[in-house]
Amino acid sequence: MFDTTTTYHQDLEIFNELGLEAFSLEGSHHSDYHVGTVERGTGYVKIFMSSCGSQFWSFEVKQQNSVKRYKLTCGSGGLKDYWYIAEKLMTDMIGVTELEPVPPIGVTEEERTKELLNRIEGVVYERFEDKE
């Protein structure tokens, strides 16, 4: 049905601004095509696109002074619709913090504590296994 996926016309300006090459891909489904990497003094963003009729974007973001990398995934649209989010994360203008998951309805605090302790024991055990 969809034989070719090309850079959206409305994205050509931002592709040029970021130093990325426009793409034209043959076939009906493309998974995580690496569009390019944008490096700045504040870190880098690797840009990926998946297509199945529409284009879906994902970004691997690394801040310069951090060992962490983040993966952002976005809905369909153009790169221009989502680039600013990845750029804000790269420049440390957006922070991401993982919160402790809320236990499912019906799970008691005691059951949740046991689950967390088992998970911690598993992680500690795996780390000791890795060092042997």
Please state, in angstroms and rounded to a whole number, the distance separating the CA atoms of residues 95 and 91. 10
pLDDT in tens, 77-101: 999 999 999 999 999 898 887 766 6
CB atoms within 10 A of CB 89: 21
Within 54-126, strands assigned E span 54-63, 69-76
pLDDT given for residue 130 in this prediction: 52
Q: How far is CA 121 from CA 84, 115, 116, 127, 128, in A?
A: 40, 10, 9, 10, 11
Q: Is the dihedral of CA 85, 86, 92, 95 positive or negative?
A: positive
DSSP assignment string, 104-123: PTT--HHHHHHHHHHHHHHH
Two tokens at 61?
């973001």
Please state, in angstroms and rounded to a whole number, the distance separating the CA atoms of residues 116 and 94. 29
Two tokens at 36?
């390019």
pLDDT given for residue 82 in this prediction: 96
Two tokens at 32?
């995580």
Q: Would the pTM of this model clear 0.85, i.e. be above it?
A: no
pLDDT in tens, the chain (132 residues): 457 889 999 999 999 999 999 999 887 566 789 999 999 989 999 999 998 778 999 999 999 888 888 999 998 999 999 999 999 999 989 888 776 666 667 778 788 788 777 777 665 555 455 554
